[in-house]
Structure 1
Amino acid sequence: MCSHNGRNGFLSSSLCLFVALMLLSANAAACTTFAITPGASEDGSMYVGHTNDGVGKDWREIDDISLLYVPAADHAPGTKRPVLYDPNSGSDAAGGKRGGNSSLILGYIDQVPHTYAYYTGSYGMMNEHQLLSGECTDYAKVELGPEPGKRIFYSSELSDVALERCTKAREAVELVGSLIETYGYYGTGETLIFADPEEAWVIEICSSLDEEDGGGLWVAEKIPDGEVFVAANEFRIREVVPGNPDQLHSSDLFSKLEAAGPWSPAAGTLDWLEAVSYGEYSHPYYSLMRIWRIQDTLAPSLNLSPYVENSYTKAYPFSITPDEKVNLTGAFSLFRDHYEGTDFDLSRGAAAGPFGNPYRYLGPDDAHTDFQNASYEQVRGGANPRPISAVFCSYSYVAEARSSLPDPVGGVLWFGPAVAYETVYVPMYAGATGVSAAYTVGDRLTYDPGSAYWTFALVTNWAMLRYDAMIDTIVAEQRELEAESTALVQDTDRQAALLIEAGDAEGAVRLLTNVTVSRGDAIVDAWHDLTGRLIVTYANGLVTDPVTEAVDEPGYPAWWLDETGYQYGPRVYELDELRATGGLNYTESTVWVPKNATFREIQEYI
């Protein structure tokens, strides 16, 4: 695998080609991200989570379903780092149908003498110094297109540059802010989290409100230690107060907003969300319901209501103190959610089908379009709730940083391919120099059982045939594998730390790399085995025990039969009379009647 210095191999395209490709590209970025600070975690770890709920190719010119490890590199004086166009920057529709990608270099920045090793996909995830990052796309009032030499940065490249060059969260925020002000920003609104073992910051970004201005707008806020932050496709920073030591912002933020009109000093304290965004991303509760769900899950004592007045509600605070401190398994579980047990439970009701399938086919009203503006709000025919675990998820991860351990050991990227609810999070150490090959490949248009993405995506899709039965087997296997990984990490932590303490840093790297690669391979192999068992057991609408050879025909649940007209099926010859009889229900019982019984006599039984 190559470092970003190798990006010089990409050739610039003409501006005409660039514009054409911009019009062709349509991808998705509708993610959920969180940060759990050390004071809010059970063992003092910092956690940053991100679901990459996307469709299409990213800046790497590959589908955004795989992981890339970028090694550390030294660079000669005068070297330039190319900044690549990201096709994901201009579309927010999970149902985007158009394709196309570009290798266009929008511009160059001065390269630094040394860049750090890090993991990235569509966005940077974690570097060798335990700097973590997460992301979600937001709806901004103005979303300008890129312009070579003028607006060259989107959030994906910003997160990568930060991980290449920074070791601390605040340092990353300051670098990102300076790059935006110097080189300009294009595309959708964005929330980025940067966290190190001790502190976490949120930076939110959008295009300048003046198209002639090459720069962008940004604000950042520190997450208080002991608290949890979550974002889900809506800006989360509200009041911006000059001089607040826990906030940073672009140097000309206030003057630009005043000149453009959405804010004036006479209006009082600047509300970042109201000034630059209309709020919700796709339809009412598309974003805010996920915010509510995670905050309510972690702090039920707050008695937060899932119902709000509008997009600009202040019902959900910037960050919350959890009722109980969160451990690693709890962090994973935040992403494994379809609103179970609430009024919005996607695993129940007619839409979930007879077997509790929590996933929905996306329709035109479910995906993102600009449904509101300054004057109007589009009232749609209806939309499905947007769950945290979305069926169009490319991958998710929980990145962990631990101040008690050396950087190569303390940083662990727990990476899960495909849909979060049915994935298995595999540990990848900050100090490793490679990962299992299965996690580095994959294309949505080509089924590849050798890729981690398709290994897990197949199980999710197969489970939807009889979800309520298969999910228990899937979760049991998932828990067993993740428990084994947790024990393996604990043992590896001790061994690697001792090697480093003894001066054998190279031995530690070999150990961390071996564990990272072998554990990834083992989990993919285990999931292939599970896939085979699920296919055999649940093929053809039957439930087959491959050990005992017993075959069961469980059919459908009674409530589903009742709601789908089963009671009007061929249980008597008098079908016309049966259909004309109102108030019938599926009886769940079998009775014997005389062979010459009339339909009126049969009615007494049915």
Structure 2
Amino acid sequence: MKARTVCAVILLLMAATSFACTTLIVTKGASADGSMIVAHSDDNDLSDQRIIYVPAQDHEPGSLRPVYCTAVAVGEFPQYNSFIYPRIVSSRAPAYNTKEYLPSIPIGMIPQVPHTYAYFDGSYGIMNEHQLMFGECTDGAKIQIGPEPGRRIFYSSELSRVALERCKTAREAVELIGFLIEEYGYYGTGETLPVADPNEAWIIEMAPSPEGTGGLWVAKRVPDGEVFVAANQFRIREIDPEDPDILFGKTLHEVAEKYGWWKPEDGLLDWLRTVSLGEYNHPYYSLRRVWRLFSLIAPGMDLSPWVEDGFTREYPFSIKPDKKLTVRDVMNLYRDHYEGTEFDLTKGIAAGPFGYPDRFYGPYDGQGDVGDPSRELGGAWERPISVTYCGYTYVCQGRDWLPDQLGGLMWIGLDKPADTCFIPFYAGVNALPYSLQVCDTSKFSRDSAWWAFNFVSNWAGLKYSYMHEDIKLMQEKYETLSLSRLQEVESYVAGIISTRPEKAVKYLTEFCAGNFDEIVKAWWAFSEYLIVRYNDGFINEKGKMAQPVGYPQDWLDRTDWSEGPTSYEKGNK
């Protein structure tokens, strides 16, 4: 077994860059093809990047389901063999049965059900075989505490997995998660989980309770025809007990009143104000992304990027898009660095000569919640949607006009969304490619697909304004190719799935694996092309090597190049 020496994290504070994601839902009435879309960027600081297929399973009567601690977003728990990598070691899925690591130790058990559904898993559950889909983002909360057997055994990641194992609809998932929080207790950070089936979308938000057991939660339905966005801040506000589109925990009002967080005479309970201090990290860390996505989706609203404070009401819970969104529209939303705005990260001195949009965070950057009076900020970078520390992004589709095996699509983009290629997998596959299910970020390996995309993204930083144009051509080529192939696949499988389901599943699995492997192979070849093409800062091509392009003039004018030596006279630099 590999020895691991780490410090336990009991009282939890979120780091400045760790596990801070952007998530959205495009309801069926807001999408161009009538599909429900759930998207999520897992900004996880070189965590466990594996996308795992968890098979459907049958269980004996009286069986118990283990609940494991989660290191993602809340820190490692060595007493439960809970580490950043691997996230789980168990027989839950073949790819999780990594025998060279210590097995995960359950923090608790819950009664198992006779049959659990197959699903795709990452840092959080993604999508199951019945087209149930989850997104996620971490939020600040007034109370952030660690797990404790018998009192707090669930974090949002395991909650999403249990829901995918047992539920077919979004409302079922919300109700189950709420029950599990109250029955078994919730630890960790605040969390927002978008959850949707092909016809209905909900947002469930949760936070630990100051009681030290149970937990606080609310849920709200996203109106059809609208788009919801969250970016590391709670998005649900007033809780109206008479609203049929709002659900909440049975102890929420009682606990909030007991701890002085809310008084009945104040009117309806404001969830955001009640359980959090607003944004975290720095002002606009969350709100700027909400503004940006809303402004791209509905520019006609003319929303301002500037607000009074972190509890602003300028940005509604959900909005109607100016035009209905395609799945590729959503992919491109995740590639944004505020291009063309006053916050454009491809501009300015920090972007360097070649418009590099990523910013590397350090110990000088803020941590904790903005509302914490003990915090001091010396400065801050704008926080874009696409960040260099993103581990993977997915865009899931649920389509009610197709059988579940065909209707559910997970488009997975490994590493940073700005520089990745989204590749589709049907919910009806019975396996995922080996190279998608292996990735140790501490060891470079060509056996892992993630490393192909990570390498290209990092290499592009050497001459980003040039290489990113090459990347965009690759994205256009292979995402368009995948979309065109799906039409033929769905036509064929729809004709056999009712009479020959096993053949249909085999066909889907082989198609998805072949398409994925082809694109990954192309990305490795592309990486080698970029190495040669931009070697030593030149532009290179066979027969015309070492073309000196130098630096852009506007950047050159800001350097001390003009003060360099131009004569032999003393005093001339």
**TM-score in terms of structure 2 length:** 0.92
Cα distance in structure 2, aligned partners of 1:217 and 1:19: 28
Q: Give 1:167's aligned residue.
A: 168
Residue pair 1:24, 1:99 contacting (<8 A) in 2 also: no
Cα distance in structure 1, aligned partners of 2:73 and 2:362: 22
| 1:49 and 2:49 matched | no
Residue pair 2:48, 2:84 contacting (<8 A) in 1 also: no
Q: Give 2:61's aligned residue.
A: 77
> Where does 1:12-161 land on structure 2 (aligned, <5 Å)?
20=8, 22=10, 28-55=18-45, 63-91=47-75, 103-161=104-162
Unaligned runs of 5+ in 1: 1-9, 11-16, 57-62, 93-97, 580-606
SS in 1 for 2:107: strand
> Where does 1:166-185 land on structure 2 (aligned, <5 Å)?
166-185=167-186
C-alpha displacement of 1:24: 11
| 1:514 and 2:498 matched | no
Q: Give 2:474's aligned residue.
A: 477
Mark the structure with the bigger radius of gyration: 1
C-alpha displacement of 1:256: 1.1
Cα pair distance change 1:479/1:99, threshold 3 Å? closer
Q: Give 1:302's aligned residue.
A: 301
Q: Give 1:342's aligned residue.
A: 341
The aligned amino acid for 1:565 is D
Cα distance in structure 2, aligned partners of 1:561 and 1:421: 26
Cα distance in structure 1, aligned partners of 2:429 and 2:560: 58
C-alpha displacement of 1:23: 8.0
Q: Give 1:563's aligned residue.
A: 558
Cα distance in structure 1, aligned partners of 2:72 and 2:10: 10
Q: Give 2:274's aligned residue.
A: 275
Cα pair distance change 1:329/1:30, threshold 3 Å? same
Cα distance in structure 1, aligned partners of 2:393 and 2:544: 37
Cα pair distance change 1:339/1:366, threshold 3 Å? farther
| 1:535 and 2:534 matched | no
Residue pair 1:90, 1:188 contacting (<8 A) in 2 also: yes
Residues 432-473 of structure 1 deviation map (CA, whole Å, 9 limit, x = unaligned): 011221111111111112211111010011000000011111
Q: Give 1:591's aligned residue.
A: none
The aligned amino acid for 2:529 is R
Q: Give 2:426's aligned residue.
A: 429
Residue pair 1:124, 1:156 contacting (<8 A) in 2 also: yes
Residues 396-448 of structure 1 deviation map (CA, whole Å, 9 limit, x = unaligned): 00001000100000000000110011011110110001122111111111111
C-alpha displacement of 1:209: 2.1
Cα distance in structure 1, aligned partners of 2:188 and 2:152: 9
Root-mean-square deviation over aligned CA pairs: 2.0
Cα distance in structure 2, aligned partners of 1:20 and 1:349: 41
Residue pair 2:11, 2:146 contacting (<8 A) in 1 also: no
Q: Give 1:246's aligned residue.
A: 245
Residue from 379, 404, 408 that aligns with 2:401: 404
Residue pair 2:278, 2:369 contacting (<8 A) in 1 also: no
378-387 vs 160-169, greater mean Cα deviation:
378-387
SS in 2 for 1:563: coil
Q: Give 2:230's aligned residue.
A: 231
| Moved >3 Å (runs of 4+) | 17-27, 98-102, 365-368
SS in 2 for 1:87: coil
Residue pair 1:22, 1:87 contacting (<8 A) in 2 also: no
> Where does 1:452-491 land on structure 2 (aligned, <5 Å)?
452-491=449-488
Cα distance in structure 2, aligned partners of 1:553 and 1:71: 54
Residue pair 2:283, 2:370 contacting (<8 A) in 1 also: no
Cα distance in structure 2, aligned partners of 1:423 and 1:264: 48
The aligned amino acid for 1:528 is W
What is the aligned length? 546
The aligned amino acid for 1:436 is P
Q: Give 1:291's aligned residue.
A: 290
Cα distance in structure 2, aligned partners of 1:434 and 1:271: 44
Q: Give 2:95's aligned residue.
A: none
Residues 5-51 of structure 1 deviation map (CA, whole Å, 9 limit, x = unaligned): xxxxx9xxxxxx99846589988210000000000000100000000
Residues 338-388 of structure 1 deviation map (CA, whole Å, 9 limit, x = unaligned): 000000000011110000000111123446324423xx2634111111110
SS in 2 for 1:33: strand
Tell me which of the two structures has the higher relative contact order, counting C-alpha pairs closer than 8 angstroms and 6 or more residues apart: 2
Cα distance in structure 1, aligned partners of 2:177 and 2:436: 28
The aligned amino acid for 1:188 is T
Cα distance in structure 2, aligned partners of 1:129 and 1:324: 28
Residues 499-524 of structure 1 deviation map (CA, whole Å, 9 limit, x = unaligned): 114x1111110111011111111110
Residue from 548, 566, 569 that aligns with 1:574: 569
